[in-house]
Amino acid sequence: MKMEIEELGEKGKNVMCQLKDPEGNDLGHPLYLPQDAAPKELQQIVNKLLNNEEKLPYAFYISDQELVVQLGAYLQKNKVSVEKELPIVYQPQAVFRIHPINRCSSTIAGHTEAVLSVAFSPDGQQLASGSGDTTVRLWDLNTQTPMYTCTGYGYKNWVLCIAWSPDDKHLVSGSKAGELQCWDPQTGKPSGNPLIGHKKWILEYLGNQSTSELHVVGFGHTLAVTCVKRGGDGVIYTRSQDCTIKVWETSQGKLIRELKGHGHWVNSLALSTEYVLRTGAFDHTGKQFTSPEEMKEVALERYNKMKGYAPERLVSGSDDFTMFLWEPAVSKHPKTRMTGHQQLVNHVYFSPDGQWVASASFDKSVKLWNGTTGKFVAAF
């Protein structure tokens, strides 16, 4: 490794650099890198230091600015002193590339009223949609054609939310009438009777779709609960119009933490681990599994790999025009306050790798933020 770096440095002076992961942990000892080293050479070094059998792509950042030129050119342009150790943060990139969306691939007709909710299956092969026409429909994404129209047990009200089980075997819908219905995605038939208990609309569903049991009822919010999310560490997060976020443990439904800071309704929540929790054992390779145990093992492995040694992160968006980045397992206080939107923030979401946060607002903008530090990156 030393020989490779020395060979790179034959053409120019060296700069003492310290490679760091997105959490700020050092990758080995400081290195003297040549000023003509570019991201391509830095990728080789990081893959070598991490002992990656498969060479992975990385992006590099100095003071939150992406390095896209040679080190020397960056230092000269930004007038950075070479007398001090230069920290360079590396971030893993997706191993596959997403083509830009520039046209509609298909219009799938079928619902007779407004489509109110949609959800991709964890394996990416099916799409489920709920509508004001009181039906749930399943679509084949490979052929972009309808598979099943799910009706039954007198479903007579709008379908407001839909959720898949991570093993791809169950689908649940929630209606304006306050009922939950489980469905078999392979047949489009109901799985058991409707689950009745709510007195008003069901806006979001989260639970164990393989059973029809009510395990825990948690009380604590003083106004409407508008979102429920299950974390990967055995907790549930709820947001409410009472301006708070509450964290519950799942075995007894006890409140373990209350996150305060927003001055108005909390409109949206997102978890850094949300993608791997939603997709379970499935990824872009399309691997098939022989048993539920194997699926659980792979899903846990994917979760631990994605999370690393850092705590699970939560981001919230509010009617007060702000966002907060939290680490609920560490503190009840926000890690940082994210400001910049000029109107209410109606949606926030982490990228699949948890490195970025996107936010949408009534100010007609979408903003991109660093998912680890909460720093503003760009506006669209």
Confidence at residue 127, expressed as pLDDT on a 0 to 100 scale: 93
Dihedral sign computed on CA atoms, order 27, 33, 36, 40: negative
- Residue 324's nearest CA partner among 249, 380, 242, 269 is 269
Q: Judging by DSSP bridges, how do beta strands 366-370 and 376-379 pair with one another?
A: antiparallel
Dihedral sign computed on CA atoms, order 220, 226, 227, 228: positive
- Rounded to whole angstroms, how far apart are CA atoms 369 and 337? 12
Confidence at residue 356, expressed as pLDDT on a 0 to 100 scale: 92
pTM higher than the cut 0.75: no
Q: What is the residue-level pLDDT of the chain in tens, covering all 380 positions? A: 444 444 444 444 788 999 998 878 899 999 999 989 999 999 999 999 999 888 889 999 998 888 999 998 998 898 888 788 899 999 888 766 666 667 777 788 888 899 988 999 998 899 999 888 888 999 998 888 889 988 865 557 788 888 888 888 888 887 777 777 788 898 888 887 766 655 555 555 554 444 444 344 455 677 767 777 888 888 888 887 888 888 888 777 788 888 999 999 888 999 999 999 888 888 878 788 888 888 889 888 888 888 888 899 999 999 999 999 999 999 999 999 999 999 999 999 999 888 899 999 999 999 999 998 999 988 98
- Which residue's entry shows tokens 């443990």? 249
- Residue 314's nearest CA partner among 332, 303, 326 is 326
- Rounded to whole angstroms, how far apart are CA atoms 108 and 131? 14
C-beta separation of 135 from 158 below 8 A:
no
C-beta separation of 268 from 255 below 8 A:
no
Residue 18 corresponds to which tokens in the numbers above?
């310290």
Confidence at residue 335, expressed as pLDDT on a 0 to 100 scale: 94
Confidence at residue 134, expressed as pLDDT on a 0 to 100 scale: 86
- Residue 188's nearest CA partner among 129, 147, 142 is 147
Confidence at residue 46, expressed as pLDDT on a 0 to 100 scale: 94
DSSP 122-191: TTSSEEEEEETTS-EEEEETTTTEEEEEE--TT--S-EEEEEE-TTSS-EEEEETTSEEEEEETTTTEE-
C-beta separation of 173 from 181 below 8 A:
yes
- Rounded to whole angstroms, how far apart are CA atoms 36 and 40? 11
> b/e string for 151-173 if b means 16 or more Cβ within 10 A?
beeebeebbbbbbbbbbbbbbbb
SS (H, E, C) 91-108: EECCCCCCCCCCCCCCCC
